[in-house]
Each structure stands twice: as C-alpha cells, then as structure tokens.
Amino acid sequence: MTRTPSTASPPVAAGAAGTAAEKHGTAGRRSRHRAPGGASWHDRPLRRVTPWLFLLAPLALLVTFTYVPVGNMIFYSFTDWDGVSPDRNFVGGDNYTELFTRPELFKVFAVSLYYLTASVVQITVALYFATVLSFDLRFRNLFKGILFFPYLINGVAIGFVFLYFFQDGGTLDSVLSWFGADGDHAWLGSPESANTSLAGVSVWRFTGLNFVLFLGAIQSIPGELYEAAQLDGASRWQQFRHIIAPGIRPVLSLSVILAISGSLSVFEIPYIMTGGATETSTFVIQTVKFAFQFNKTGLASACAVVLLALILLITWIQRRIVPDERVDLV
Amino acid sequence: MTVAVPDRDPSRRRPRVGTALTYLSLVIASLVVLVPLLVVFLTSLKSYDEISDGQGALALPDDWLNFSNYATAFTDGHLLTAFGNTAFILLFSITGTVLIGSMTAYAIDRFDFRFKGLVMALFLIATLVPGVTTQVATFQVVNSFGLFDTRWAPILLYMGTDIVSIYIFLQFIRGIPKSLDEAARLDGANSFTIYRKIIFPLLKPAVATVVIIKGITTYNDFYIPFLYMPSEELGTMSTALFRFKGPFGAHWENISAGAILVIVPTLVIFLFLQRYIYNGFAQGATK
C-alpha cells in the first residue's frame, strides 16, 4: 500500500554492486588471457618495470607508515624504552605481565562494555529507522538527512556540545524538568553515569553511519520481493523478518564487527569531554597517556599490541562466520 | 503503487495507528539529534551575563543578532590560522590520496607482474590494522624523519594509510573495459599516457567519492593533528577548537560559537552534496 519502489539512489549503488559481484570472481583469470593481442609490447623489459613505477610511492608509504610501525611496536613492547633515551633494555614479557596482572590497568576494558551496550542500541535504532525510511513517507529525505548528519560533525565540536548538554542545570536537566524530574544531576560526576552519558554520545554520533549502510543494503533488495509478499498478505513485521533481515545480513554482521572493534578503541569523545577522569578512561586513552605523558613507550606498545591482536582476532572470527561476500554487497 | 482496495478490508485500519507511531518516532529522533545542536546555537548568541543568570540552557537569547561571541571565538581562538592549516592539509592529502589510490588501482588491475599477490596481500592486511593502535610506534617513525610538529606529518599519514580509497578505485577501474587501453596502446600510447588520458578521466565518480569521504574525515580528525602538531600556530579546526577548553574555561558562549563555526562548513557541504555523500559512505565504509 505505502511502498514505492525506492529509486533515490539505486542506479549507482545497485549498478556498482552488480558489476562488482560479477567481476569479483573472474578478474584474476581474465587478466591472464589478455596477452595474445599485445605480444609485441608485452615482452619489452620496460613493461615489467611499469607497474612498479606506479606502485613505488604507494608501497613506500604503506611500508613506512603501516608495516614499519607495526614491526617496531612489537619490538618496543618487549623493552622498557621511554621513547626518548638512546638505551632500551630487553625485558621479555614484563610489559605484558604488568598489563594483565595490575587490575587497575586492565579495568579499562570494563569501560568498553558501556560502549558495547551502546552499539547494540545504536544498531537496533539504525535498523529500525532504515527499515521505516526505506518505505515511502512524507519528509523522507529530511528525516534521512537529520539522522545521518551527526556522523559528519567534528568530534571536538560534538564533545563540547555534549559537555554543555550534560552540565549541571544544562540542556538535559532543563528538558527533564519539563517532565517533572528534578533537574540536578552531575551527569559526568560519577563513574557510572559518566560512562553511560559518554556511551550515549557515541550512539548519537554513530547511529547515522549504520543507518545509511542499512538503508543502502535495503534498497538493493529487489522491489518485486515486497510486492509479492504484500500480495501474499505479509505484514510489515513479516516482510522485515523474511525479506529485509536476510537481505542485509552481511552488512549487519559487518556492523557488529565494527561495533566491537570500535568499542575497544574508543578515544575521542571521552578524551575531549572528561580527559579520562571519573573512571571513563578507555584503553586507547590509557595507551596514549602511557606513551606521551608517562614516557612508557614499552608498556604503551604492549597495550597497542594487545589491542591489535584483539581486533585481528575479531576480524578473523567475522571472516569465518560471514565469508567474503560482504565486500561487494553495498 | 496504490491499489484501490475497498474499505471493507479491516486490516486497512491498523496501518493508520502504525503510521502515526512511525512519524512520532521519527520526530522524537529528530529532536534528539537537533536539540543539543540548537541549544549550542542559542548559547552562542547569548552574553556571559545571560548564561550565568540561571535561566536555564533553553532560554532564548535577548539579542538574536549578537555575533560578538563569534568574533571573539574567531580571533582569540585563532580559527583563521586553523582554517588555513586545515585547508593546506586537505589540499595536499586529498590530491595525494586521489593520485596514489588511482595509480595503485591501475597498476594492480591492469598489469600482471611478479609478487602481485604479495602486493595485494600487503594492502589487504593493512586494512585490518587500526590506525589508533600503531600511533605509538608511528610517532617514532615520523619523528625520525624530522616531520614532527610540521604540517607534512598529518599529510603523509593521511596519504599513506588510506586503503579505503584504493579499494574504491579498484572497484571502479574493474568496470572500465580493457579494450579501451588496448586501442590506445595500438595507437602508440604508453602506460602513463593511458593512465592520464583514459583511466583517470573515467574514474571521475570514484574521485568524487574519495574526495568527499577523505575531505570529511580529514577535516574532522582530531587524533593525528593532536599528536603530531602540538604547536599552537599549527592548529587545525579540531585542535584549535579543543584548545578553547583552557583559556575560555566556563565561557560557554565563546566555546559554543567556536563549535558552531567548526560545524557550519560541514553543514553547508552536506546540504549541497547530500546525494553523493550518502553514496560515498555506503560504498566507502564497507570496503
């Protein structure tokens, strides 16, 4: 009844998805079959050097700013280096032992749980609005724009906006007082409410991204499916359950992985808003403090290695659960 | 499609309530998004006395045309310098990313060469390494080049770690028929000419996507300029705004004005390029 075939963006998105999916499997083989026609230039030695000329700068940057740091980081994590002095001593696994045995260092992972919970809320909310807005509604584009916009805003600006929002007698308190709740909370004052507030900000900020990803995926589901379902008398919920949910599964699982690794590496908002005070310090804030305030480069590197290992592990699990198809879907 | 279903169908009643609830949820969500921003905008127009008189954050400003906070934020917050630095970094890192990304994609898709698999793997594995984790060690690399506290540090980092753009280009380049290259080659064009005259112009949609995504993330990035450019005169929009915390202390009218000044360019770009931005993020974020 209310659904129009959504033509807002599909031409590009759907087209790209289709061709990409086809090419994905055959690209490797095709390029090998190309040779016969161009045999004359194919044999020249210049030809063999050409790709490397194009790859020189990218590879140099890649190695210098990704692989060398990763290698060094693993090396530093076994030393007691302070980041400045010329001598560093090999200390074996001491940094790791310290990291895992001093409970106050490991406690920061508990903070991640707040953000993990927030991601669940975020994904649910995004999924709801993406479903709702993929059907025809008045002011659809306006709502789309409003929901997505926070994702584009500068993180520092968001930090200040919400610092003001959560102030004593600030926006939140004023709004709550309209509903009769007494307007005096130190939202950022106790560890629990501070972390909840910060996690709330992250929901506010990132829901838009999930929303747009889901929206794109839903729109790439062929419209006839809904029409058929409607003729069969399927309700909205049934349509969601049997058409939309399976159709966007790959994007959904990607979002879950991004949410988990994102929750482990939260930095910006808590650093800007509380500086990690009142037990809102996250793993990355702690790492940055070790490295650049306390000059414990060795320990900071061990932190970073642990985080990297965790994220690689999560990605690996995700690849096992949802094989490669995810890359070409949206 | 609207099918004229006779009114006796009882199930037609229910969607009405459903629709109302849907709109209600959308309006609430919009308010949740807009109210914090709106309040900051209101605050930016108030005077210090208005804020401290305890009327609450939602009170309207006395003078809607009081832009003095903006002037203060702009001059005392050194936002002009910040804007210059941000523009400089944006220009170089975006140009660099587009060139590097498209060249890499061209080399990988159009040539067969030894170690091609290895090169692909290097780029692939790099996507898995989150930037924040390696900064401790990257810092030492940047420092050893003497680039610490220069604008080149962020520029090189933005160019060197952007794998997403390479993937976007790679996907587009696969859609360009190889017969075009071969025809040009028969006419005597070399690989570089083919890249410059045929491939690059055809990559325009991908370039637009990369420019938008890269532009927005670079403009908003806080971590890299914060770590690598501590000098005050090297502030970007993010770090300059962050420094408001100190000198302006509880002067929320100035901080709010600064935040609005930083947000406005994003808002303008978003309003003009909405469509491309949606597509860009849908394509970019999953690669």
User: pLDDT tens across B249-264, in order?
Assistant: 778 888 889 999 999 9
- Residue A7 clears pLDDT 70, i.e. is over it: no
B160–A215 CB contact, under 8 Å = no
A294 contacts chain B (CB < 8 A) = no
A88 contacts chain B (CB < 8 A) = no
Q: pLDDT, tens digit, for every residue of A86-132?
A: 778 888 888 888 888 887 777 788 888 999 999 999 999 999 999 88
- Chain A environment of B107 (Cβ under 8 Å): 50-52, 54-55
Confidence at residue A211, expressed as pLDDT on a 0 to 100 scale:
92
Would you kindly state where each structural domain of chain B is located, as residue ranges?
18-65, 79-285
Tell me the ipTM for this assembly: 0.86
Q: Tell me what the mean pLDDT of segment B195-215 comes to.
A: 89
- Residue B49 clears pLDDT 90, i.e. is over it: no
**Cβ proximity of A240 and A131 under 8 Å:** yes
User: Measuring CA to CA, which residue among B170, B135, B104 is closest to residue A60?
Assistant: B104
- Residue A188 clears pLDDT 90, i.e. is over it: no
B141–A68 CB contact, under 8 Å = yes
CA within 13 Å, CB half, B11: 7
Q: Shortest CB distance from A54 goes to which of B106, B171, B270?
A: B106
Please report which confidence band the pLDDT of residue A10 belongs to, taking 50, 70 and 90 as the band edges.
very low
- Chain B environment of A32 (Cβ under 8 Å): 112
Q: pLDDT, tens digit, for every residue of A232-283?
A: 887 778 888 888 888 888 888 888 888 888 888 888 899 988 887 778 888 8
Q: pLDDT, tens digit, for every residue of B104-128?
A: 999 988 888 888 888 888 888 887 7
**Cβ proximity of B69 and B48 under 8 Å:** no
Q: pLDDT, tens digit, for every residue of B239-248?
A: 999 988 876 6
**Is A108-281 a domain of CATH 1.10.3720.10?**
yes
Would you kindly state where each structural domain of chain A is located, as residue ranges?
68-101+285-323, 108-281
Higher pLDDT, A21 or B276: B276
**Is B79-285 a domain of CATH 3.80.30.20?**
no
Count CB-CB contacts under 10 A for residue B112: 14
CA–CA separation, B97 and B91 (whole Å): 10
Most confident of A27-31, A184-188, B135-139: B135-139
A307–B130 CB contact, under 8 Å = yes
Q: pLDDT, tens digit, for every residue of A168-184?
A: 767 777 777 777 766 56
DSSP 8-state code for residue A90: B
**Cα dihedral value B156, B160, B161, B164, nearest 10:** 120
**Phi, psi torsion values for A79, nearest 5 degrees:** -120, 170
Q: pLDDT, tens digit, for every residue of B139-182?
A: 888 988 988 989 999 999 998 777 888 888 888 898 888 888 88
